[in-house]
């Protein structure tokens, strides 16, 4: 609310020519005002022409009577003075331990969350109990500047990746996380390449093993069939009835001939 009122007042105290706060304001017959320097510049720009108010465009002719606006000049001076005071108060940090609160702070303790003047900061500098208390340049917005993750650190850097302010420890952790992530990516890639190579080797070995097993099984079956056929042929060829009784039919004769032929091939 205070900032809004300050902005409105600043707009009312602004010269329409230079767009800055009035300096030595002069009032025109229409009631509007200009800086004396701006008024002279406008009149020099058109010495023979009629003078028109920059605000309302009222025409006053080549010669006009202007007077210094003392009331407006006093308001402007007060506004400038208050602005300088507010700026100084904003930039200055006062000791939280001084009763009157008028002594400027020289350090801010992040642990105690207080700002200390030269006299009250001695305890933090001399007593061992305060050895772990970090002291930094005086901060007005202490709570806003403290890191939410690391209470003894101040937000000093802006991280583009996370789009937020971070402290020293956050920045260091972020760097370590990036290095760890990069190492994990390299390890994952190497592991994938190794697994692909091992898969190809195992696939080849499994194929060779299956082929060898099938070949051995086929050979075993062939040997077993060969043994069976050999036994049958020998029984038929050497049967005692075969040499005494001729074949009763043509099919039987053909069978005996094939058996003889098969016996000769197997022998």
Q: At what angle do helices 168-237 and 250-266 cross, to 10 degrees?
A: 120
DSSP conformation letters of 15-52: -TTT-SB-SSEEE-TTS-EEEHHHHHHHHHHSSSSPPB
pLDDT in tens, 173-193: 877 777 667 777 877 888 888
Q: Which of 141-155, 172-186, 192-206, 252-266 has the lowest mean pLDDT?
A: 252-266
Please, are residues 119 and 132 in contact by the beta-carbon 8 Å criterion?
A: no
Greatest CA separation found in the chain?
165
Extract the tokens encoding 40.
């002279």
- Percent of the chain past pLDDT 70, that is, above it, reads 77
Q: Which of 18, 14, 59 is nearest to 37 (CA)?
A: 18
Strand partners, 27: 33, 67
DSSP 113: T
DSSP 101: -
CATH number for domain 2-91, candidates 3.40.50.300, 3.30.420.40, 3.40.605.10, 3.30.40.10? 3.30.40.10
Decide: pTM greater than 0.85: no
Instruction: Determine the pLDDT at residue 120.
Output: 92
């Amino acid at each position: 609310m205070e900032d809004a009122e300050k902005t409105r007042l600043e707009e009312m105290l602004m010269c329409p020519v230079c767009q800055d706060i009035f300096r030595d304001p002069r009032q025109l017959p229409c009631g509007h005002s200009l800086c004396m320097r701006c008024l002279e510049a406008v009149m020099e720009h058109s010495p023979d022409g009629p003078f028109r108010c920059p605000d309302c465009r009222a025409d006053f002719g080549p010669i006009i009577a202007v007077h210094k606006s003392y009331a407006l000049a006093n308001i402007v001076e007060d506004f400038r003075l208050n602005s300088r005071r507010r700026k100084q108060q904003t930039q200055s940090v006062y000791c939280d331990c001084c009763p009157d609160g008028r002594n400027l702070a020289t350090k801010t303790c992040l642990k105690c969350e207080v700002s200390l003047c030269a006299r009250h900061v001695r305890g933090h500098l001399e007593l061992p109990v305060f050895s772990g208390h970090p002291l930094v340049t005086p901060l007005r917005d202490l709570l806003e500047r403290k890191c939410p993750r690391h209470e003894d650190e101040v937000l000093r850097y802006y991280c583009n990746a996370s789009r937020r302010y971070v402290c020293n420890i956050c920045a260091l952790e972020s760097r370590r996380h990036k290095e760890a992530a990069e190492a994990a990516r390299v390890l994952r890639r190497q592991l994938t390449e190794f697994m692909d190579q091992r898969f190809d080797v195992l696939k080849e070995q499994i194929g060779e093993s299956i082929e060898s097993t099938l070949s051995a099984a086929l050979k075993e079956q062939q040997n077993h069939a060969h043994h069976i056929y050999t036994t049958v042929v020998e029984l038929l060829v050497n049967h005692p009835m075969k040499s005494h009784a001729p074949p009763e039919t043509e099919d039987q004769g053909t069978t005996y001939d094939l058996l003889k032929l098969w016996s000769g091939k197997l022998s």
